[in-house]
Amino acid sequence: MPTHYRACNLCEAICGLVIEHEDGKVLSIRGDEQDPLSRGHICPKAVALQDIYEDPDRLKYPVRRTLAGWERISWEEAFDEVAANLRKVQKKHGRDAVGVYLGNPNVHNLGSMLFSGPFLKALGTKNRFSATSADQLPHHVAALSMFGHGFLLPVPDVSRTHFMLIIGANPLVSNGSLMTAPGFARHMKGIQERGGKVVVVDPRRTETAQKADAHFFICPGRDALLLLAMIHTIFEEETVAPGRLKDFMTGINEIEEIVSGFSPEAVAVHSGIKASDIRRLARDFALAPSAVCYGRMGASTQAYGGLCQWLIIVLNTLTGNLDREGGAMFTQPAFDHVAFTGSKGKTGIFGRRRSRVSGLPEYSGEFPVAALAEEILTPGEGQIRAMVTVAGNPVLSTPNGNQLDEALASLDFMVAIDIYINETTRRANIILPPTTGLETEHYDIIFHLLAVHNTAKYSPPLFEKEPEQRHDWQIFQALAERLAGQPGNGMPPAQMLDYALRAGPHKLSLKQLAEATHGIDLGPLQPCLPGRLFTPDKKIALAPNIFVQDIGRLKADMEAWDNNSANGFPLELIGRRQLRSNNSWMHNSRRLVKGPERCTLLLHPQDAQKAGVEDGQEVLVVSTTGAIRIKAEISDEIMPGVVSIPHGWGHGLDGVQMEVARAHPGASINELTDHKRIDGLTGNAAFSGVPVRIERVG
């Protein structure tokens, strides 16, 4: 039976798959035991690659929205019409009148990674947005400021660490993020077997917390306080030991001064963690043979996301765990994205430009997506009047998605490059659908860069695309050529990849990769500092100005919390990821959505009792921006005072053409989140801790 080997590109884990197939039909999808990174791991989403491939709702040719519904048009007509409309808007209102939003799957797509750049250049707008600012923007700002490159992101060396502190991440469900660690359970077990510990800090006793050695509930958005107090303790107990890199860092004294005001006692009430627990945690961390603090979504999409990601690096560095085995290390990928990109050394570049309406900071040519709707809705020079969305569903995935939905409806023109008519793309005038998944070749530029072990893997397409289909990169190229008025360089992604691999640190070639069907093992993470620092003085900047200043905002807010009354919204809302879900777009797979309703409101028994709500009862959740109806699920796995709703649901909107998803609509948490709630430093969306109340219905 024909067998195909590839990497799954649905999430960051890039698991190796073994796919048996016959006559253009998938017969089975299993984990590849011989993949050097995933070693057989697989999750329930992998089989959905087949469902997406076979999905009758998936678009394969361009469609135009008319009063009578969607009509099929030819690629040439579609490209011409899109280019003409974008140019028309730009001619009349300026180049920035066209906005762009790039969604998450772009990063999981070789062709898009290589071809979106020339397209954006041809379009020439400053109004660019992406899912980054609803996700990991604080990590990039911290890396740029401290190491001089926004993509020099430290990854936990989970295969060798003796102590892992996980703040606001749930890798047993998410399979790791900015930490490509397929089969994270195996790594966790490994840590425990070598006598180490895993500690989780989270307002919910998550799947990961349940398997950890210890779990602490923390009040949403208070992690910066915990980190400051841990660093305080490390200075107080004189366990600061930066080790080998001691002479390659600046700002230790400043850090000591900053943390002096944040004793464990001073932060205990606000964080919800006892002072004695904070002290012990800091001690265990500092004294472990090796340790790594890792914080993700919960420590990033919150009001102090920037402070958290900065302090996490500071904690790792001061304890000698940055760039050492078992600590937070850097990869050496075969495709060296860091070498090719980034404002190397230009640490002051962050926030150089500001968004027109709210003055939110630009990072890497993009404004925070929280500002997108207002840039469309607010009249004046520079207003966005046309949009390009690519592999994104911001109506469901960005704060106050409702408002964005209205904004999209008011545009002069919109084009979406996407495979579905969903909550966002239904607003487009034209949809350009690319190939996806099994029809594409893949090499993961980004997630090899963020992996816990150096490997490289190339996946050829399993199935030939139909002649009428186009790849993402072909769509980008066709549009770029029309907008720029000249042909591109004609080099396909595989050839570009080959060049990059040959130029990379391992001097590989595409041919070598293509022959190694399971992937190539390039060894464990290796220390590389100070050599790879991009800061002007070639030192780690432990106390960059922007972060030091932001401590002032935190202090001012602490005073405000002291005088706080609940003002009608006594509960704090957080999100949660689910194993059989991937952001907003995989709910059209029957296998993934079957079973009991998953889009529920988790709440603690005490809060349920106060609100007079019973398990399974439908309730109204109200915030300052909206209200949704949702079923209550009562459990003490969530902290009292906190409630949780998964994101990516809410498929009941008019015009969504995804039959299975529509039958399991759920409700969108982002009708409750507020675009004004951001991390005041980076502009990242602050999804954690949205004030809400519950009302009974009926």
Instruction: By CB under 6 A, name the binding residues for ligand MGD.
Output: 11-12, 103-105, 109, 131, 134-135, 167-171, 173-175, 177, 201-204, 206, 218, 220-221, 223, 296-299, 302, 390-394, 397, 417-420, 422, 434, 436, 472, 574-579, 581-585, 647-648, 669-670, 673, 687-689
| Residue from 4, 6, 11, 181 in contact with ligand SF4 (CB under 6 A) | 11
Q: How far is the CB of 6 from ligand SF4 (least distance, A)?
A: 10
**306: Cα separation from own chain's centroid:** 15
The two tokens of residue 651 are: 């498929």
Would you say 163 or 294 has its CB closer to Mo ion?
Answer: 294
Q: Which residue has the tokens 């959505």?
A: 593
Given 12, 51, 135, 439, the residue binding Mo ion (CB under 5 A): 135
Q: Residue 135 Cβ, how far from Mo ion at the closest point, in Å? A: 4
207 binds Mo ion (CB under 5 A): no
Written as one string, the DSSP assignment of 46-66 is TTHHHHHHH-TTS--S-EEEE
672: CB partners within 8 A, 6+ apart: 573, 621, 622, 623, 625, 626, 627, 628, 645, 690, 692
45 binds ligand SF4, rule: CB under 6 A: yes
d(Cα 499, Cα 495) in Å, to the nearest integer?
6
Structure tokens that stand for 538 in this block: 């070639």
- Residue 459 CB, nearest approach to Mo ion (Å): 22
Shortest distance (Å) from residue 29 CB to ligand SF4: 9
**Residue 87 tokens, joined:** 């140019």
Q: Which of 4, 5, 6, 14 binds ligand SF4 (CB under 6 A)?
A: 14
d(CA 315, CA 317): 5
Stretch that binds ligand SF4, among 7-15, 62-70, 108-116, 516-524 (CB under 6 A): 7-15
Of the pair 156, 264, the CB lying nearest Mo ion is at 156
Answer with the entry of ligand SF4, Mo ion, ligand MGD, none that 342 interacts with (C-beta below 5 to 8 A by kind): none
Question: Considering the rule CB under 6 A, would residue 26 count as an interface residue with ligand SF4?
Answer: no
Q: Note whether 446 binds ligand SF4 by CB under 6 A.
A: no
Cα–Cα distance between 517 and 16 in angstroms, integer?
10
Nearest Cα to Cα of residue 106 among 605, 454, 476: 476
State the nearest-atom distance from the C-beta of 10 to ligand SF4, in Å.
Answer: 4
Q: Which does 15 bind (CB under 5 to 8 A by kind): ligand SF4, ligand MGD, Mo ion, none?
A: ligand SF4
Can you spell out the DSSP letters for 362-373? PBTTB--GGGHH
CB-based contacts of 664: which residues, under 8 Å, 6+ apart?
587, 593, 597, 651
Q: Does 12 bind Mo ion (CB under 5 A)?
A: no
Q: What share of the chain is helix, strand, coil (3-state, %, to 5)?
A: 35, 20, 45
Helix (H, G, I), strand (E, B) or coil at 479: helix
| Shortest separation between residue 8's beta carbon and ligand SF4, angstroms | 3
| CB nearer Mo ion, residue 130 or residue 332 | 130
Judged by CB under 6 A, does residue 453 bind ligand SF4?
A: no
Q: Binding partner of residue 293 among ligand MGD, ligand SF4, Mo ion, none, CB under 5 to 8 Å per kind?
A: none
Task: Please say whether the beta carbons of 475 and 90 come within 8 A.
Answer: no
Angstrom distance (rounded) from CA 417 to CA 388 = 8
Least gap, CB of 134 to Mo ion (angstroms): 7
Residue with tokens 């502190």: 165
Residue 175, interface with ligand SF4 (CB under 6 A)? yes
Stretch that binds ligand SF4, among 13-21, 185-193, 246-254, 503-511 (CB under 6 A): 13-21
Element containing residue 629 per DSSP (H, E)? strand 627-634
> Of 587 and 604, which has the nearer Cβ to ligand SF4?
587
Count of residues binding ligand SF4 (CB under 6 A)?
Answer: 12
Residue closer to ligand MGD by CB (options 27, 566) is 566
Q: Which residue, judged by CB position, is nearest to ligand MGD in the bound state?
A: 298
CA gap 308, 167 in Å, rounded? 9
Q: Residue 73: CB partners within 8 Å, gap ≥ 6?
A: 61, 62, 63, 64, 81, 430
15 near ligand SF4, judged by CB under 6 A = yes
Name the residue nearer to ligand SF4 (CB basis): 8 or 384: 8
Q: Least Å distance between CB 410 and Mo ion?
A: 27
Instruction: Tell me how many residues contact Mo ion (CB under 5 A).
Output: 1
Q: Report the residue number, 15 or 456, with the smaller CB distance to ligand SF4.
A: 15
Smallest gap, in angstroms, from Cβ of residue 331 to ligand MGD?
Answer: 18
Pairing of strands 627-634, 600-603: parallel
Cβ-based nearer residue to ligand SF4, 590 or 610: 590
CA proximity to 108, closest of 120, 97, 100, 116? 116
Q: Is 161 exposed, middle or buried (0-12, 13-18, 19+ CB in 10 A)?
A: buried
Least Å distance between CB 41 and ligand SF4?
A: 7
Q: From the CB of 291, what's the least distance to ligand SF4, in Å? A: 26
Helix axes 223-236, 275-287, angle to 10 degrees: 60
Nearer to ligand SF4, 35 or 366 (CB): 35
Residue 447 CB, nearest approach to ligand SF4 (Å): 9
Whether residue 94 contacts residue 467, with contact meaning beta carbons closer than 8 Å, is answered with: no
DSSP letters for 541-575 = ESS-HHHHHHHHHHHHHHHHHHT---TT--EEEE-
How many CB atoms neighbour CB 354 within 10 A?
14
CA 680 to chain centre: 19
Per CB under 6 A, 43 contacts ligand SF4 = yes
Work out whether the CA dihedral 280, 281, 286, 289 comes out positive or negative. Answer: positive
Of residues 237 through 266, those in contact with Mo ion by CB under 5 A are: none
Nearer to Mo ion, 296 or 427 (CB): 296
Which one of Mo ion, ligand SF4, ligand MGD, none is in contact with 8 (Cβ closer than 5 to 8 A by kind)?
Answer: ligand SF4
Nearer to Mo ion, 135 or 374 (CB): 135
At 222, the amino acid letter reads: R
- Give CA torsion, residues 186, 189, 195, 199, to 10 deg: 110
User: What residues from 541 to 570 belong to the interface with Mo ion (CB under 5 A)?
Assistant: none
Q: Tell me how far apart the alpha carbons of residues 109 and 178 are, in angstroms, rounded to a whole number.
A: 16
Q: Is 306 helix (H, G, I), strand (E, B) or coil?
A: helix
Report the distance separating Cα 575 and Cα 584, nearest Å: 13
Q: 76 Cβ partners below 8 Å, 6+ apart?
A: none
By a kind-dependent CB cut-off of 5 to 8 A, residue 418 interacts, out of ligand MGD, Mo ion, ligand SF4, none, with ligand MGD
Site for ligand SF4 in 182-221 (CB under 6 A): 182
Select 21 or 215, whichever has its Cβ closest to ligand MGD. 215
- Counting contacts by CB under 6 A, is residue 656 touching ligand SF4? no
50 vs 402, beta carbon nearer ligand SF4: 50
| Closer to ligand SF4 by Cβ: residue 18 or 428 | 18
125 makes contact, choosing from ligand MGD, ligand SF4, Mo ion, none, with CB < 5 to 8 Å by partner type, with none
Q: How far is the CB of 477 from Mo ion (least distance, A)?
A: 26
Q: Which residues bind Mo ion (CB under 5 A)?
A: 135
Which residues sit at the interface with ligand SF4, rule CB under 6 A? 8, 10-11, 13-15, 42-43, 45-46, 175, 182
